[in-house]
Amino acid sequence: MLADLVADGDVVVLSGAGLSTESGIPDYRGETGRLRRAEPMTYQRFTGSPAARRRYWARSHLGWRHIARALPNAGHRAVAELQRRGLVAGIITQNVDGLHQAAGARGVVELHGGLDRVVCLACGARSSREHLDRRLRDANPGWDGAAEVVNPDGDAVLDDDRVEGFRVVDCDRCGGLLKPDVVFFGENVPPARVRDCYALTEGAGALLVLGSSLTVLSGYRFVRHAARHGIPVAIVNRGATRGDAHALVTLDAPLGDTLAGLLAELGPSPAAT
């Protein structure tokens, strides 16, 4: 059934953190979830508390190294290959790790932004995370170490005594507050980005959800939108999801093996025959 839906083409993929667990990045709510061990940063706490910002950047400074080293897994590669074959018409990801693009996917809509960029909340200037990483290293000589647990947003779990004394840097253009170019909890996804995702969903032959529990409305709304428009929904995830009642196909299975098997079932690429 899943292969039949995908073979018809015009598939729009909606991916979540579960797709990246096989790359060593734990998800929040699945089998590798750490939500109970590290509460995600909210926009309100980040902007309202210098101590919260210091804690975030200290933890994220270590966590970013883990994210930056992660490599695409078989699931990411399969999605990119399906796109290359012309079967995937669009990719919406809730992930901020950039692994779809690293696998070769094009035109990925990053619903929640990307950790590889930093934005100034005062002047709006964007810069690379590598640039910020160098500045933070220079501002904190001798402050180093490895994180035992890293969440999907790059937030590492650290003891409070390691956070104390960490120096945060501000925008090197205007002195404003720097924030990763991601949507924090309590922050809204930019409306234009949401409209783009709705348009992709409306034009889909099928919506394929990969590795998302759909607990958060930001992704679940597209499943509801597809169902309202009579667009078939297929979900591959470890465990039940909020969208199962709207799905024509649900698979509780490992993402990498399932998507690699899907490619095999679809047969060789037309370009290879």
**Is 28 marked within a binding site?**
yes
**Is 200 marked within a binding site?**
no
Please identify which of the residues 61, 66, 100, 112 carries the catalytic annotation. 112
**Is 36 marked within a binding site?**
yes
**Is 55 marked within a binding site?**
no
**Is 16 marked within a binding site?**
yes
**Is 19 marked within a binding site?**
yes
**Is 176 marked within a binding site?**
no
Q: Is 225 a catalytic residue?
A: no
**Is 116 marked within a binding site?**
no
**Is 127 marked within a binding site?**
no
**Is 213 marked within a binding site?**
yes
**Is 73 marked within a binding site?**
no
**Is 21 marked within a binding site?**
yes
What whole-number distance in Å separates Cα of residue 47 and Cα of residue 179?
A: 9
**Is 45 marked within a binding site?**
no
Contact assessment for residue 126 and residue 181, using Cβ atoms and an 8 Å cutoff:
yes
User: Would you state the torsion angle of the CA atoms of residues 26, 27, 30, 32, taken in this order, to the nearest 10 degrees?
Assistant: 10
**Is 26 marked within a binding site?**
yes
Sign of CA dihedral 192, 20, 162, 166: negative
Burial letters 149-160, b for 16+ CB under 10 A, else e: ebbbbbbbebee
**Is 152 marked within a binding site?**
no
**Is 123 marked within a binding site?**
yes
Q: What is the DSSP string of the chain?
A: -HHHHHHT--EEEEE-GGGGGGGT---SSSTT--TTTSPPPBHHHHHH-HHHHHHHHHHHHHHHHHHHH----HHHHHHHHHHHTT-EEEEEE---S-HHHHTT--S-EETTEEEEEEEETTT--EEEHHHHHHHHHHHSTT-----S-B-TTS-B---HHHHTTPPP---TTT-PPEEEEE--BTSPPPHHHHHHHHHHHHT-SEEEEES----SHHHHHHHHHHHHTT--EEEEESS--TTGGG-SEEEES-HHHHHHHHHHHH-S-GGG-
Q: Which residues are known binding-site members for Zn(2+)?
A: 120, 123, 171, 174
Q: Which residues are known binding-site members?
A: 16-36, 94-97, 120, 123, 171, 174, 211-213, 237-239, 255
Q: Which residues are known binding-site members for NAD(+)?
A: 16-36, 94-97, 211-213, 237-239, 255
Active site residues: 112
